[in-house]
Amino acid sequence: MSDFALAQIPEELLNLFRSKRASLFIGAGLSKSVGLPDWLGLLNELIARVEKIIPNSGEYVKECRAIAEAGNFLPLAEALRDQLGKDEFNKYIRERFVDQRPEPNDIFKIVVELPYNYIITTNYDYLIEDAYAFINRKSAKKYTYSQPQAMADNIWNGYKFILKAHGDADEPDKIILTDKDYRNIINAEIGYKSILQVLFTTNSILFLGSSLTDPELNLLLGFLKHAYHDGGPKHYALVDETKVSPIIAERWRKDYGIHLITYNPEENHKQVLEFLKLLKANV
């Protein structure tokens, strides 16, 4: 397998970072690089927990696994949270993302060294803020969907910050897991809606670690498409070349203004790190 080449990175994207007009969106795929689960992995872990703690759940578990493999993630997530109950679900989130807190790897350390304006993530873990603290020897400014005023102040003053768009693992009661959660937040948090519109219409966003079938990403993009009606800047996404076709790439460009940069996933997605090293070295 050849290395990722600089020529594969659009010059326009490099110029956007150079001119401080770019930000980042980090999905679960990057966290998977240090052993945390992506969407399917999380659901399979919740299914295993149901099987372990709920007697005579064999048929239910079997059906859940079939739903997960079919890709119906959001309704299954809702069902599993209900089945486990609030206390057991919250215990899982804390154990998986807080107690088993992994060290950020080179991918995350390079991410926080890029000249971004904001980092948006739907991940519950602490890899981004831990990498930021490691590199900068200070804590990052970090907010969730419930803090739009603080984010507005930071935007006005030109400060970098991290938006944990779906909440933090240390507050599992407040995390966004399903489309129902997302609708409730979007309808209740008017300030947050405005912040999302500002972030996505004043910055070119580079998506990293998000698959085109990521339900969290699709929830967000559905809202944003409705919000800015096909206007706004061009965005980019680094995606596994085996997961995309020309037809799908064209739909993402037309429907969401997202232009795909593909990479070879061989050798445990080695080219993701190569892409980030090239990006950092040339902006």
Question: What tokens were used for 43?
Answer: 């659901």
pLDDT for 161 beyond 80:
yes
Which pLDDT band holds residue 197 (cuts at 50, 70, 90)? confident
Helix (H, G, I), strand (E, B) or coil at 207: strand
pTM for this entry: 0.93
Helix (H, G, I), strand (E, B) or coil at 163: strand
Question: Residue for token digits 């089945």?
Answer: 83
Question: Residue for token digits 């950092």?
Answer: 280
Rg (the chain; Cα; Å): 19
Start-to-end Cα distance in the chain: 26
State how far the alpha carbon of 255 is from the alpha carbons of 75, 121, 167, 185, 229, in Å: 24, 21, 27, 24, 10
DSSP-assigned states of every residue in 246-270: HHHHHHHHHHH-EEEEEE--HHHHH
Q: Give the model's pLDDT for residue 115.
A: 97
Sign of CA dihedral 185, 186, 191, 195: positive
User: If you average pLDDT over residues 196-213, what whole number do you get?
Assistant: 89
pLDDT for 132 beyond 70:
yes
Are 68 and 60 within 8 A, CB to CB?
A: no
Are 111 and 208 within 8 A, CB to CB?
A: yes
pLDDT in tens, 88-123: 999 999 999 999 899 999 999 999 999 999 999 999
* Span(s) in the chain for CATH 3.40.50.1220: 6-35+103-281
Question: Residue for token digits 């993402």?
Answer: 252
Q: Give the model's pLDDT for residue 226.
A: 67
- Packed helices 190-202 and 148-157: angle between N→C axes, nearest 10 degrees: 30
Residues forming beta bridges with residue 163, ordered by sequence position: 120, 143
pLDDT for 216 beyond 70:
no
Q: Give the model's pLDDT for residue 188.
A: 78
User: If you average pLDDT over residues 63-70, what whole number do you get?
Assistant: 95
Total residue count of the chain as it appears in this document: 283
User: If you average pLDDT over residues 203-212, what whole number do you get?
Assistant: 90
* Torsion of the alpha carbons at 30, 33, 39 and 44, rounded to the nearest 10: -170
pLDDT in tens, 264-281: 999 999 999 999 999 999
CA distance 185 to 178: 11
Q: Give the model's pLDDT for residue 230.
A: 60
Q: 6-35+103-281 has which CATH code?
A: 3.40.50.1220
Q: Give the model's pLDDT for residue 123.
A: 94
- Please tell me the least confidently modeled range out of 135-139, 226-230, 240-244, 273-277: 226-230
Q: How large a percentage of the chain has pLDDT more than 90? A: 75
The residue that leads in pLDDT, 43 or 2, is 43
CA distance 94 to 98: 5
CA distance 241 to 239: 6
